[in-house]
Structure 1
Amino acid sequence: MVEKNTTSSKTVSRSTSVPVRTNNIWEPLSRIRDEFDRMFDETPGNSFGSRLMQKMYETADPVVELRDKKDEYQLVAEVPGMSSEDIEIKLSDGMLRISGEKSESHEEEGESFMFSERHYGSFERAIKLPNGIDHEKISADTKDGLLTVHIPKSAEARQKERKIPIQTS
């Protein structure tokens, strides 16, 4: 099999078993990385593509988890550096919407950053709530950079839950 190498200034025909020298010693590794990026990015339903992961980290959207406790569901969102005044929670048609804005702190005179990986901006997350919740008793609190939304289960939902025995044969 013959391949064309177009990375250098000349086009060189080569056999796959003969290495081609280029001016950039990292070029072969760069090609491998590009191929992995392409492979992951083009896989349907894949959320691990490097460009997709990079996009995910470029937003200010908080990551969330929904926990199923005995008497309530807990929605926990990471909101580091945000106060309760920066966050708004709304409930409508079974959807819980969390929105807010993480503002950039102002730089002191004479300070400069070597680099910054912090993200700022507004966000909105909409989470479909499970059935059987008591809408009137939903509450929220923040502590140590975590927003916890307490979503109590209705009395009917707690009574409907039962353990199913598993039989062995």
Structure 2
Amino acid sequence: MAITRYEPWSLLNQLQKELERAYEGTAGGEGSIATAEWAPAVDIKEESDRYVLLADLPGVKPEDIDLSMEEGVLTIKGEKKTEAKTQRENYKRVERTYGSFYRRFSLPDTANAEGISARSRHGVLEIVIPKREAIQPKKITVAAED
């Protein structure tokens, strides 16, 4: 008897992937995007002066990550390469994910696209998106003439 892992959200995840593929096909996206095999887990937090996005990308070298910003949409894509394939035939179970990945995020109007920075440390990609300075009303002083 084979033991299988119960994943109640797998059908929902599959539907989401199919919808993303359909969307990319109609939006003129790249062909490789539709074949993304997994999506990294992401945390997003808002601070008073910036947004911080943390993406889990263990085993992915920084040079293998393609990060771009276009028309208010931040895109993370790349590929996590497999280890030596000769050993795969002896595996009983494989849960670590390999292959291409792809995530897109619509940024709010308050995001400053020009100031975005990113760094990768210990398998976590940190993207910092500063907020634009709010346009404050300017007080104009009227000088008195003598």
- Whether these two folds match at TM > 0.5 is yes
Letter in 1 for 2:128: H
Matching residue of 1:52: 12
How many matched pairs? Answer: 112
| Structure with bigger RCO (C-alpha 8 Å, 6+ apart) | 2
Q: CA deviation at 1:52?
A: 3.0
SS of residue paired to 2:79: strand
Shift of 1:145: 1.3
When normalised by structure 2's length, the TM-score is 0.65
Cα pair distance change 1:116/1:110, threshold 3 Å = closer
Q: In the aligned structure 1, how far is the partner of 2:88 from the partner of 2:45?
A: 45
For residues 90 and 152 of structure 1, the distance between their equivalents in structure 2, rounded to whole angstroms, comes to 15
Q: Distance in 2 between matches of 1:72 and 1:49?
A: 32
Letter in 2 for 1:70: S
Structure 2: segments with no counterpart, 5+ residues: 1-6, 17-36, 138-146
- SS of 1:136's partner is helix
Question: Is 2:109 the partner of 1:149?
Answer: no
SS at match of 1:51: helix
Stretches of 4+ moved more than 2 A in 1?
48-56, 107-112
1:8-63 residue CA offsets vs partner (Å, 9 max, x unmatched): xxxxxxxxxxxxxxxxxxxxxxxxxxxxx9xxxxxxxxxx545335788xx42101
Give the TM-score normalised by the residue count of structure 1: 0.57
Residue 130 (str. 1) matches residue 108 (str. 2):
yes
Please, which of 70, 89, 93 is the counterpart of residue 115 of structure 1? Answer: 93
SS of equivalent residue, structure 2 residue 12: helix
Cα RMSD for the two superposed structures: 2.9
Identical aligned residues as a percent = 36
Matched-pair contact (CA < 8 Å) for 2:38–2:102: no
Which stretches in structure 1 are left out of the alignment for 5+ residues?
A: 1-36, 38-47, 161-169
**Which of 1 and 2 has greater Rg?**
1
Residue 110 and residue 81 in structure 1: after superposition, are their counterparts in 2 closer, same or farther (change >3 A)? Answer: closer
Q: Contact 1:72/1:150 (CA < 8 Å) preserved in 2? A: yes
